[in-house]
Every structure is written in C-alpha cells, then in structure tokens.
Amino acid sequence: MPQDISPAWTPVALSTDLPEASVIPARIATAALALWRSQGGTVSAVADRCPHRGMRLSHGFVRGEALSCIYHGWRYGKTGQCLAIPAHPSLAPPDAIRVATYQTSERDGVIWVSASDERSDVPAHDGMTGLRSIALSAKPQTLAACIGSISVGDAIEWAVDGTKARLLLAPSGEDGTILVHLLIESGATLVQKVAASHALEAIRRHAEALEHQGETA
C-alpha cells in the first residue's frame, strides 16, 4: 500500500464511474475487489474471485439486485450469498457458497470501501464533487511535492485556476501505482473543470518523471 493512504476507508471510485447495473474492478490495500451497483442503486464490494472456479467477478454482469459470474453464471446477492446456479436450477445453493463482502459507503460523489467490520464515518468532502480519476506511478509524497502541498493524509489540497480542488489517493495495482481521484468545488465552471483536469495530467507527467529520475539516479 502506498504510504500515507488511510487504511480505514479507501476511496475506490467516483460515483459517476459506477452507474446502475454495472460492475468494475477496484482495490483496497489488502484485496482486489469487484465493485458493483445494483439496478436499484445499492453499491456493494466483494472479493474479485468467484468461489466456483476463481473467475474475476469484475468481469461479470449485474441483473436486478444480483451480480453474476461471466463464466458459469453463478449469481450472488448483496450479502455475498450465492443465490442461483444456472446449471442446477432446482438446487437451493448451500449457505457455505458465498463470496467475501466489504463495507461500502458513498458520500460527496465518492465510493469508499473498508475491510473493517467496525462502523465509522467516511471522510467528508462537503461542497466538492468528483471530476475524474487517473492512475499514477509515483509516491504520494512526490505527487504532493509537485503540487506544492505538504498535506498527504486523507487528501491533498490544491488550488487551480482560481478554484479549490482536492486529491484523494488509493492503491491502484500491486505494482505500487496509485489511483488519484480529483474533486473540485461544486460551483466550478466548465472552464475551471477542464483546467483542473489538464493540470492533473501535467502533474502526473511531472511526478512520474521525478519518480523515474529517482529510480535511475
């Protein structure tokens, strides 16, 4: 896990990246996830491995309030319980067939996941809205240095083109890449959003170049 990324709640995706009846891959420090939203809008996070033959559930599909595996179609509910096995339509799947689930929360346009069973509040980002997410091959500290911020905790504060922005960090891959979610003031204009998006791309190039220099020095 990248240093200084909070282990309690991980910002795994922006709400806009997970429409109704869809599933996407996501990550927390300790697990690869299938993050899915039901037709009714409920967000769930499960281990990204089907208990049957190990297919990634993030390759599956959502129908109604269930997530189906793409391989043999085993269907899972929000609690992780297997609901149906298409090859045996008259069989009630045993309770033991279930996929691990994770606590989820959605707030201020961000989807959060926790591996803990303890209830706690997710970080608040009132007045901000999610703009975009990018993957980046650099340490959080390098990213913060490029922005000129020393705040590397739950978020990096940023000011761009006269508006307030905030970066939330999460693990992206096992190779140490991080996922950066860009939030911007809710009242930002389209011009400011485009400027912030371009500025983030420039910072990614800068941070990755610095990181590469450090590796080759």
Residues that bind ligand FES (CB under 6 A): 50, 52-53, 55, 69, 71-74
Asked whether the beta carbons of 189 and 121 are under 8 A apart, the reply is no
Asked whether the beta carbons of 75 and 99 are under 8 A apart, the reply is no
- Cα distance between the two ends of the chain: 24
Closest contact distance (angstroms) between CB of 36 and ligand FES is 14
Tokens representing 109?
Answer: 């346009």
Closest contact distance (angstroms) between CB of 68 and ligand FES is 8
Q: How far is CA 95 from CA 13, 76, 80, 83, in A?
A: 30, 12, 10, 9
Closest contact distance (angstroms) between CB of 70 and ligand FES is 7
Judged by beta carbon, residue 52 or residue 132, the one nearer ligand FES is: 52
Closest contact distance (angstroms) between CB of 85 and ligand FES is 8
Closest contact distance (angstroms) between CB of 67 and ligand FES is 11
Judged by beta carbon, residue 55 or residue 83, the one nearer ligand FES is: 55
